[in-house]
Structure 1
Amino acid sequence: MNRAQPKQFREQIRILERKLGLLKKNNGSCCAAVLTLAQCHAVVEIGRINSISLKDLAVILAIDISTTSRTVDGLVKKGYVQRTPSLEDRRSVDISLTESGMVIFETIESNNDTFFADIFDNIPNEEKMNVLHALDVILAAFDQES
């Protein structure tokens, strides 16, 4: 392995991360006027699953449960999320989106679908499968580190 390759990989990931961070400014994908970035991520994950425990949401978001709880509390106060006692575990609550939370979720998803379709269209057709495969490999490598 070339010693410069890990550094080049790091730099490319750093640049990609910075460009992805611009999403919230450029396309309103996280409804920045309404939600924090953490709340945006929570809404997306709750919306994709429909109902989830606080503990499972914390695992998906890769943040501690107290931070997840504060994030969800903010969403409850805004009327986007509701907590209901779990049918499986009396000590647990399930979190789901309210009707207005679903509107926010659908807006985020629609904006992101459009944004990423536009980016993907800029990739040459003969490279699209290679890009998707490379991202799978990178994600698997991250999973091995965890």
Structure 2
Amino acid sequence: MDKSKKVVNELLVQLFNDILQIEEQVLKEGVISDLSLTEMHTIEAIGMYTKRTMSEVAQDLKITVGTLTSAINKLIKKGYVERNRIEEDRRVVLIGLTKRGKLAYRLHEKFHDDMVSNSVDGLTSQEEEVLISSLSRINKFLKEKYKLK
């Protein structure tokens, strides 16, 4: 592997690991310290504005509805999520965020916004274009190679 490929590899691996570690650290130090990173990503998948079916959220997270059910039960106990059945078909379960869940969502969104803003702060528009193009190419390659949606 030539030098630049090695550097890119090291940076990508380090960046991925650092972001996960920092996200966990920020969660533990904040007002939503009772959430795991997985739970936060479940809240993120549920979304802010509409109630969603369990199967929609499970599909977005690429997990089974059974696995999601366990996660949702924990989030309900913690006060972040509410579950309702629709009257027309009691088999359909809708989940949505509580006020506390929406706060967690906004705080996590702010973390990501700050991270991205600081990453591009000071870049020229041409440098931003190169960064976006490079990240898009990596993303496209990984999705095609490993058949991700």
Q: Shorter-chain-normalised TM-score: which range?
A: 0.7 to 0.9
Residue aligning to 2:136:
136
User: What is the deviation of 1:22?
Assistant: 2.2
| Distance in 2 (alpha carbons) for counterparts of 1:119 and 1:130 | 13
Residue aligning to 2:99:
99
> Residue type matched to 1:109 in 2?
E
User: What is the deviation of 1:79?
Assistant: 1.2
**Number of aligned pairs?**
145
Residue aligning to 1:15:
14
| Distance in 2 (alpha carbons) for counterparts of 1:30 and 1:122 | 29
User: What is the deviation of 1:21?
Assistant: 1.1
Change (3 A) 1:142 1:36: same
State the Cα deviation string for residues 6-49 of structure 1 (Å, max 9, x = none): 87765543222112112224544995612011110011121246
Is contact 2:42-2:61 (8 Å) kept?
yes
1:110-129 equivalences in 2 (<5 Å): 110-121=110-121, 123=123, 125-129=125-129
TM-score, normalised to structure 2's length? Answer: 0.77
Change (3 A) 1:88 1:110: farther
Q: Give % identity.
A: 23
Residue aligning to 1:64:
64
Where do 5+ consecutive residues of structure 2 fail to align? none
Structure with the bigger RCO (C-alpha within 8 Å, sep 6+) is 1
Residue aligning to 1:90:
90
Is contact 1:30-1:108 (8 Å) kept?
no
| Distance in 1 (alpha carbons) for counterparts of 2:56 and 2:28 | 24
Q: RMSD across aligned C-alpha pairs, in angstroms?
A: 3.1
